[in-house]
Amino acid sequence: MGSQYNYNTRLSGLNIDKESFEKKSADFFNNEKANNDESIFSSKENFIEHYEEKLLDNNDTVNADALAQKAVNKGYLEEDEKETFIRLADTESGDRSLNKKELSSLLGAIYDSAQEYNADNVKQEKKSIDEIYERVTIQPWGTGVDDCLSRIIQNHVGEIELYSDNYNQYLEELCRLNNIENPDIVSGSVILPKMKLDENNEIIKDENGKIQFYTQEELENL
């Protein structure tokens, strides 16, 4: 938390937008994570230790200009952002080189900011899904209400007759949409697929008798 507070203060002092810093941190974090051993990113300590060793390369300091230029070359910074980045990172002597303490603080701030940005994006994604699908919380087994998928379908999907061919198709789509492997073992909550209905509220099927479901993209456009 100390490094995060320090960098929030410095971001403000240098007129750097916090959201922009978080996005650049997340871009770096996510790109590096996709191309390296995931254990490096499993904790802040692992992240700092790995990149300290990589960037210092057995030296006492790393050149801040070279580090900024490398970030530009990889697309993490714009050319006109280099100087501000150097001032942000070079917190102690202003000698345009980063010692281990400065590097550790910078890496810690990047890690924290990336986590914050990614967490916010997950929240937004969940919010958007809940806005377009109905979500039902699965109750403890034995309560008799919404405690299994068949009761959830019976209670919340009026167009489906229990255990009919339509029911089997709906259950299959429900499991696909929620990544459920075994419909008899469920917990937490589920989002309900949205079937296409005609003007008479009848289920629309294709020429093979398959129920037509809206995709998430189609529902967002609706």
Q: pLDDT 10s per residue in the chain (222 long)?
A: 455 657 888 888 888 888 889 999 999 999 998 888 989 999 999 999 999 999 999 999 999 999 999 999 988 899 999 999 999 999 888 899 999 999 999 999 999 999 999 888 877 777 788 888 999 999 999 998 999 999 999 999 988 989 899 999 999 999 999 999 999 989 999 999 999 999 988 999 999 999 999 998 888 776
Residues 16 and 119 in one domain: yes
Final residue of a structural domain among 93, 126, 159: 126
Structural element, H or E, at residue 94: none
Q: Give residues with Cβ within 8 angstroms of 131, minimum separation 6.
A: none
Residues 23 and 121 in one domain: yes
Which DSSP state fits 96? S
Residues 109 and 9 in one domain: yes
Give the number of residues written for the chain: 222
Number of domains in the chain: 2
Q: Give residues with Cβ within 8 angstroms of 170, minimum separation 6.
A: 153, 157, 160, 193, 195, 211
Distance CA 17, CA 87 (A): 15
Residue 204: count other Cβ atoms within 10 Å of its Cβ: 11
Report yes or no: 7 and 109 within 8 Å, Cβ to Cβ.
yes
Residues 161 and 106 in one domain: no
Final residue of a structural domain among 82, 103, 126: 126
Distance CA 77, CA 21 (A): 10
Q: What share of the chain is helix, strand, coil (3-state, %, to 5)?
A: 55, 10, 35
Residues 190 and 88 in one domain: no
User: How confident is the model over 96-130, as pLDDT tens digits?
Assistant: 999 999 999 999 999 999 999 988 887 777 778 88
Residues 117 and 138 in one domain: no
Which DSSP state fits 142? T
Q: What is the pTM of this model?
A: 0.59
DSSP, residue by residue, 74-86: TTSS-GGGHHHHH
Report yes or no: 155 and 139 within 8 Å, Cβ to Cβ.
no
Final residue of a structural domain among 126, 158, 181: 126
